[in-house]
Amino acid sequence: MLQQTQVNTVIPYFFRFMQSFPTLAALSAASQEQVLQHWSGLGYYARARNLHRSARLIADQHAGDMPATLEQLTALPGIGRSTAGAILSLGHGKCAAILDGNVKRILSRYVNMEGWPGTAANQRRLWAISECLTPEQRAGDYNQALMDIGATVCTRTHPDCNACPLLSACAAHQLQCTDRVPASKPGRNIPARKNWMLILRSRGDDNACYLEKRPGAGLWGGLWVFPCFDSEADMHSWCSQRRIDISQLELMPEQRHTFTHFHMDYTPAIAWTSSLDGVQETSGRWLKADEALATPAPVSRLLTEITRRPHR
């Protein structure tokens, strides 16, 4: 779940995306490249790909109208049970329960649930509670109120219990244990992976950088990145095969980018070439300084930094 500082950071990017694709029709008509480019800065790029795929499925299979049943909604890419419940209740006025992170926290405290809410048993229990409490009338207003309470009152730390409308019935408050409920997710060590990024620059007047497009699925799927290698030796071998002189290779300080399940510790390496022969790949292209492509955050930052450097 995003922290408040992260939310404040991504809001401008989100509004830019919404302004670019204000309707399902606009989103479905766009190319994946356009969608990913406008999503740049928001992270979690699988969400952008799923949004795009869902928009096209809605256009093709539902005549452009948002589905109005749980089964139809959860059949769309990236839409789970809680998101479907929010669409049904807020968008269609139907009685449908939700269980996002804020609601999990509220309900866990409301019944003083033991253990981490993410376990299978606790998830089942929380869904049962949520469905039982969701009213048949004005379910959308109820769900919106729950999300707002979780975001502003029943916060993860230092909840403002005196301002909470559920105060008199909250078991965790009555037992004075809101600081321990819900229980935190069991800790785990996040592995770190080493990576080398080759920033291949042209000595020509266009000051171009070479980028490759990732496959549509998986890490950074569909985005443009610098050639990445698991070892420095692999990077040298790739350059040798393409007759790229890296005798004056410039290694930048190692940087870290954190994904959900691992850290990527990457070393950017800058190499210059005066010839484009032997470099162009079927999935690659040269990006000029005045062009834009859909790139992940680490690549975008590096592009901004290196274009300020002088030509060679």
Give 284's strand partners. 212
Percent of residues, the chain, with pLDDT higher than 90: 69
How many angstroms separate the CA atoms of 65 and 216, rounded? 26
State the pLDDT at residue 312. 60
Higher pLDDT, 16 or 280: 16
For residues 162-191, average pLDDT: 94
- Give the residue among 174, 176, 208, 187 at the shortest CA–CA distance from 279: 208
Q: At residue 123, what are phi and psi to the nearest 5 degrees? A: -60, -45
- Is the model's pLDDT at 151 over the cut of 70? yes
- Is the model's pLDDT at 120 over the cut of 50? yes
State the pLDDT at residue 207. 74
Burial class (CB in 10 A: 0-12, 13-18, 19+), 242: middle
Say if domain 193-306 classifies as CATH 3.90.79.10: yes
State the pLDDT at residue 216. 82
pLDDT range class, residue 257, cuts 50, 70, 90: very high
* Residue 141 burial (CB count, 10 A): 13
Contacts of 21 (CB under 8 A, 6+ apart): 27, 30, 35, 38
How many angstroms separate the CA atoms of 35 and 192, rounded? 30
State the pLDDT at residue 75. 97
DSSP letter assigned to residue 182: S
Contacts of 74 (CB under 8 A, 6+ apart): 80, 81, 84
Which two three-digit tokens encode residue 3? 């922290």
Angle at 169 between CA 168 and CA 173, to 5 degrees: 75
Q: How far apart are the first and last CA of the chain?
A: 44
Range with top average pLDDT, 239-243, 282-286, 298-302: 298-302
Cβ 299 vs Cβ 230: under 8 Å: no
Higher pLDDT, 125 or 288: 125
How many angstroms separate the CA atoms of 31 and 239, rounded? 32
**DSSP-assigned states of every residue in 77-107:** TT--HHHHHHIIIIIH--------HHHHHHH
Run of H or E residues at 270: strand 263-273
Range with top average pLDDT, 66-75, 200-209, 244-253: 66-75
State the pLDDT at residue 6. 47
Burial class (CB in 10 A: 0-12, 13-18, 19+), 206: middle
How many angstroms separate the CA atoms of 15 and 182, rounded? 32
| Domains in the chain: boundaries | 97-187, 193-306
State the pLDDT at residue 310. 63
For residues 8-25, average pLDDT: 84
State the pLDDT at residue 23. 95
- Give the residue among 76, 71, 93 at the shortest CA–CA distance from 24: 76
For residues 277-301, average pLDDT: 81
For residues 283-292, average pLDDT: 84
What are the tens digits of pLDDT across the range 191-236?
999 999 999 988 776 678 999 999 888 889 999 999 999 999 999 9
Q: What CATH topology corresponds to 97-187?
A: Endonuclease Iii, domain 2 (1.10.1670)
